[in-house]
A and B are shown apart, each in its own frame.
Chain A
Amino acid sequence: MEEAIKSPLLRLEKRGSNSLKPVYVWMIRLGSILFALLLGSIAILLAGSDPIEAYGTMLKGAVGTAEFRQQTVKKAVPLLGCALAIAPCFKMRFWNIGAEGQITAGALAATFVVRLLASKFEGNTPSLPLLLMMALAAMLLGGLWALIPGFFKARWNTNETLFTLMMNYIIIGVVAWLQAGPWEARQGRIAQFPRLAWLPKVEGVHCGWIIVLVLVFLVHIYMRHSKQGYEIAVIGDSLRTAQYAGMHVGRIMMRTMFLSGAISGLVGFMLCSGATNTLSKDIAGGVGFTSITVAWLSQLNAFAMVAISLLLGVLTKGADTLQTVMNVPAAISDIIIGLLLFCMLGCEFFINYRLILRKKPGKGGTVK
């Protein structure tokens, strides 16, 4: 009989209004990173290297020299820009996973402007009017590319996740065709932009980093203090409430999607004009997807996105170095990045829930 009355060994309990103190929340988050590094060292050990040395190499490779730091920032800039782009959509619970395509669309439009107008300009230094036109075209096409699924969702309530995802393949396919066909220069590549279409460098990195930092503030203000930001927050909480309050839900959805696509398009412009100086079908290179992680991890907080995207920049750059210097297989660094993301996302569980061990009579045991 005694045995029959036992309660389960482990139970979960939602933390209610008495949520954890911020200090503990950040301690758990920090702990999750350490835990991931610990797990990652097992993978490094299995690959036959010394984990401490490996992590040291990663850190050095990411921030060791000015050049490394520039490369790290270069990796973080598109992530941050794109995370800022999808934040309004996610706040609205519109699952836009088409940033990859919207970036590509932006880059495509910018390239089109270069091909069309570059010959009209003279000189061998970056031309502001040309760059502005490129940026504008990129934002327009990126926005339109996002507006299409937005329109269908608003009008016929189509599934935006599938729709935005499929839109990625279409635009990437278009670029692949241009690259191997009408726009081909040699060996299936599009010619490099003339110098006057290159984003100028500031502190060794293309000036896109200044643009995204300005965007951080703009997006923050837009989301927190503008009427449109309020509308987005209400729709994200409850569609019915938004209708009840007299909001034009469909119109707001389309507007937000256009805005999101436009920012993604701008990122596309920065990538082709600042980073690669040309267009290719791999121009987005997964940024549109990784930035979803950035947006999620920072809980749509624009300032937290700066930190998270830098962290990811350090990781990817560090992993590159690890591969070349210590001859650790590239897969291992992918594993480490994967573990980190897993642990950082997973730790939110311990922030929202409490684990309760089976109680001994009279005593209660809790962890975390």
Chain B
Amino acid sequence: MEKNCYAIELKGITKHFGPVLANDSIDLGLQRGEILALLGENGSGKTTLMNMLSGIYLPDAGEILADGHPISIRSPKDAFAHGIGMIHQHYKLVNVFTAAENIVLGMEQEKKLDIKQTNARVREICQRYGFEIDPEKKVYDMSVSEKQTLEIVKVLYRGAEILILDEPTAVLTPQETDRLFAVLRNMRSDNKAIVIITHKLNEVMAISDKVAVLRKGKYIGTIPTAETNPQALTDMMVGRAVSLNIDRPWNDQQTERLLVRDLSCYDHEHVKKLDGVSFTAMGGEILGVAGIAGSGQKELLEAIAGLCPIAGGSILYKSPAGGQEELVGMSPMQIRKKGISLAFIPEDRLGMGLVGSMGMTGNMMLRSWRKGSGPFVKRKEPKALANKVLQDLEVVTPGIEFPVRKLSGGNVQKVLVGREIASSPSVLMTAYAVRGLDINTSYTIYNLMTEQKMKGAAVIFVGEDLDVLLELCDRILVLCGGKLSGIVDARRATKEEIGLLMTSVGGKEEA
């Protein structure tokens, strides 16, 4: 094979979705034995581009070359035929099947399925690259990281030479991320071509050989990782110089606001999701909440908001004006009627925090629709509030009556955050408040959180990016399997420390 020949080369790839230009004439080359990081903000077209390589979308224009020959990828099957395998952000596994069964699922078999032989081959692949996976384990027994490993083994089993990983570290702990990177390096030594889609700069620096940057569907350029730094990459990604520091002032007027003691909750399937959690949230501080996805973060916030049935424990609210209330057993409506201003920005913005089919006015009404006597809703105040949020947070929308479902992710979040902080909350809870947002909007959100903290609100910030948690919060509470694993001082703690707390209660390694 000639040296200047790419394993996969994209030339002038263009893709529209309706009026949106998702990819605008993109050129990209990928060599064997190389890890390429595809960097870009949310909505810059990274996943769209890679979906065209894996046969999910068809490009409107442009061509794809494999080893110098033009090819056409019309289905995931075609992609596999060319040795391209993609590991999606949302795993595509059958829960009740074993690892090996998931691997052979959908593959055409010449003869009868020999599961023993499959298991042996899976073990062989694992040994070669350093995976740890039991082919006979059922998927529902697996952790997130195991599921991801399974997805990777699946594409390797099918003979993939070119691997695309979409945001692989989003759900992993720092330790799991290190393990993943070790495996990726092994695969690189085995002369595979690897693309990792990401928006985390430290990961780009840690793992990749080259970085290709996309911005708003346009290809900006490819540079060797060794010749760049996070600041330069951010500037390329955003298109202008941005400051990456989060301002963290100290509010010296902290008062106890929420006293949570021995809180336990079960979910709808009667699985214990929260197990004897105790902590105190202070007014005037940002309390970060870290943990592997599904460790009880959602239940913690929903329990405080009165949305999750509580099995035991107490949540004592201390009002800034003096006086206290026990929140356990109260419905959201009762909490509101007591005059407790509890703001909640849930993870599922359109599915829980907003009404997608309504405009901004209708969504502002979600907090105030009961106000006033008589059977009719009052639209004047919510309309004024909608206009205020529109201006204050610079929401981009064709109009305040335009359905919020059709707005971009960042604007959807601005509508939600704008409404919640408009009630001048004494407790502000947020779950993954910056997920899917561009850098600019993320910083707007961070600043709003800090602003609320300085106003004396108790801010509870559930996050997934440990770097952000460490920069933004005053203290960080770590959950592990529904238990309180530890509370650390965000100004002094390290990422590794939190990573350990995330995987084992109290930070002790399991035997």
Query: Which residues of A approach B to under 8 Å, CB–CB?
Result: 1, 4-8, 13-18, 225-231, 233-234, 237-238, 240-241, 243-248, 354, 359
> Given A16-B17, A227-B377, does the pair A240, B348 have CB atoms closer than 8 Å?
yes
Interface string of B326-352 (1 = CB under 8 A from A): 000001110010000000101010111
Question: Shortest CB–CB separation between residue A190 and chain B, in angstroms?
Answer: 39
Max chain A Cβ within 10 angstroms of own Cβ: one of B331, B353, B367, B376: B376
Contacts of B190 in A (CB 8 A): none
Question: Shortest CB–CB separation between residue B330 and chain A, in angstroms?
Answer: 10
Max chain A Cβ within 10 angstroms of own Cβ: one of B58, B333, B352, B356: B352
> Given A18-B19, A227-B375, does the pair A5, B352 have CB atoms closer than 8 Å?
no
Contacts of A245 in B (CB 8 A): 332, 366-367, 369
Whether the pair A244, B352 counts as a contact (CB closer than 8 A) is: yes
Q: Which residue of B lies closest to A364 (CB)?
A: B60
Whether the pair B355, A237 counts as a contact (CB closer than 8 A) is: yes
Whether the pair A226, B377 counts as a contact (CB closer than 8 A) is: yes
Whether the pair B377, A241 counts as a contact (CB closer than 8 A) is: no
Whether the pair A241, B354 counts as a contact (CB closer than 8 A) is: yes
Whether the pair A244, B357 counts as a contact (CB closer than 8 A) is: no
Whether the pair A230, B398 counts as a contact (CB closer than 8 A) is: no
Contacts of A248 in B (CB 8 A): 333
Contacts of A226 in B (CB 8 A): 375-377
Contacts of A18 in B (CB 8 A): 18-19
| Residue B370 interfacial (CB < 8 Å) | yes
Whether the pair B58, A237 counts as a contact (CB closer than 8 A) is: no
| Residue B20 interfacial (CB < 8 Å) | yes
Q: For the complex, what is the distance from the CA of A230 to the CA of B357, rounded to whole Å?
A: 12
Question: Shortest CB–CB separation between residue A81 and chain B, in angstroms?
Answer: 22
Choose one: B17, B74, B365; the contact of A230 (CB below 8 Å).
Answer: B365
Question: Shortest CB–CB separation between residue B21 and chain A, in angstroms?
Answer: 12
Q: Which residue of B lies closest to A5 (CB)?
A: B72
Contacts of A16 in B (CB 8 A): 17-20, 406
Q: Which residue of B lies closest to A1 (CB)?
A: B70
Contacts of B170 in A (CB 8 A): none
Counting chain B residues whose Cβ lies within 8 A of the other chain, the interface size class is 35 or more
Whether the pair A237, B377 counts as a contact (CB closer than 8 A) is: no
Contacts of A225 in B (CB 8 A): 376-377
Q: Which residue of B lies closest to A11 (CB)?
A: B58
Q: For the complex, what is the distance from the CA of A231 to the CA of B366, rounded to whole Å?
A: 9
Whether the pair A243, B332 counts as a contact (CB closer than 8 A) is: yes
Q: For the complex, what is the distance from the CA of A245 to the CA of B346, rounded to whole Å?
A: 12
> Given A227-B370, A238-B355, does the pair A5, B70 have CB atoms closer than 8 Å?
yes
> Given A227-B375, A234-B355, A238-B350, does the pair A244, B370 have CB atoms closer than 8 Å?
no
Q: For the complex, what is the distance from the CA of A246 to the CA of B355, rounded to whole Å?
A: 14
Q: Which residue of B lies closest to A18 (CB)?
A: B19
Whether the pair B366, A241 counts as a contact (CB closer than 8 A) is: yes
Further contacts, 5 of them, CB under 8 A, given A18-B19, A238-B352, A241-B354: A4-B70, A14-B18, A17-B402, A237-B355, A247-B333
Max chain B Cβ within 10 angstroms of own Cβ: one of A8, A227, A228, A354: A227
Interface string of B385-401 (1 = CB under 8 A from A): 00000000000001000
Whether the pair B398, A17 counts as a contact (CB closer than 8 A) is: yes
Q: For the complex, what is the distance from the CA of A245 to the CA of B370, rounded to whole Å?
A: 10
Question: Shortest CB–CB separation between residue A157 and chain B, in angstroms?
Answer: 11
> Given A14-B18, A16-B20, A244-B344, does the pair A227, B369 have CB atoms closer than 8 Å?
yes
Q: Mostly helix, strand, loop or mixed at chain A's interface?
A: mixed
> Given A15-B18, A238-B350, A246-B332, does the pair A227, B376 have CB atoms closer than 8 Å?
yes
| Residue B448 interfacial (CB < 8 Å) | no
Question: Shortest CB–CB separation between residue B409 and chain A, in angstroms?
Answer: 14
Contacts of A15 in B (CB 8 A): 18
Q: For the complex, what is the distance from the CA of A8 to the CA of B57, rounded to whole Å?
A: 11
Q: For the complex, what is the distance from the CA of A8 to the CA of B55, rounded to whole Å?
A: 13
Question: Shortest CB–CB separation between residue A5 and chain B, in angstroms?
Answer: 5
Whether the pair B356, A237 counts as a contact (CB closer than 8 A) is: yes
Contacts of A231 in B (CB 8 A): 369
| Residue B307 interfacial (CB < 8 Å) | yes
| Residue B358 interfacial (CB < 8 Å) | yes
Q: Which residue of A lies closest to B379 (CB)?
A: A225
Question: Shortest CB–CB separation between residue B251 and chain A, in angstroms?
Answer: 28
| Residue B422 interfacial (CB < 8 Å) | no
Interface string of B291-324 (1 = CB under 8 A from A): 0000000000000010100000000000000000
Q: For the complex, what is the distance from the CA of A8 to the CA of B73, rounded to whole Å?
A: 12
Whether the pair A244, B353 counts as a contact (CB closer than 8 A) is: yes
Whether the pair B369, A13 counts as a contact (CB closer than 8 A) is: no
Question: Shortest CB–CB separation between residue B214 and chain A, in angstroms?
Answer: 21
| Residue B166 interfacial (CB < 8 Å) | no
Q: For the complex, what is the distance from the CA of A226 to the CA of B60, rounded to whole Å?
A: 47
| Residue B63 interfacial (CB < 8 Å) | yes
Interface string of B66-77 (1 = CB under 8 A from A): 000111101000
Q: Sorted from nearest, which 8 A-B pairs have the closest CB atoms? A: A246-B333, A246-B332, A16-B18, A240-B352, A4-B72, A237-B355, A245-B366, A5-B72
Choose one: B350, B366, B406; the contact of A17 (CB below 8 Å).
Answer: B406
Whether the pair A5, B63 counts as a contact (CB closer than 8 A) is: yes
Contacts of B352 in A (CB 8 A): 238, 240-241, 244
Contacts of B366 in A (CB 8 A): 234, 241, 244-245
Question: Shortest CB–CB separation between residue A234 and chain B, in angstroms?
Answer: 5
Q: Which residue of B lies closest to A2 (CB)?
A: B70
Whether the pair A241, B376 counts as a contact (CB closer than 8 A) is: no
Whether the pair B333, A241 counts as a contact (CB closer than 8 A) is: no
Choose one: A4, A230, A241, A244; the contact of B369 (CB below 8 Å).
Answer: A230
Whether the pair A240, B351 counts as a contact (CB closer than 8 A) is: yes
Contacts of B333 in A (CB 8 A): 246-248
Q: Which residue of A lies closest to B71 (CB)?
A: A4
Q: For the complex, what is the distance from the CA of A227 to the CA of B379, rounded to whole Å?
A: 11
Q: For the complex, what is the distance from the CA of A244 to the CA of B402, rounded to whole Å?
A: 22
Q: For the complex, what is the distance from the CA of A6 to the CA of B71, rounded to whole Å?
A: 11
Contacts of B369 in A (CB 8 A): 227, 230-231, 245
Q: For the complex, what is the distance from the CA of A52 to the CA of B350, rounded to whole Å?
A: 51
Contacts of A233 in B (CB 8 A): 355, 357-358, 362
Choose one: A4, A13, A14, A244; the contact of B307 (CB below 8 Å).
Answer: A244
Contacts of A237 in B (CB 8 A): 355-358
Contacts of B332 in A (CB 8 A): 243-246
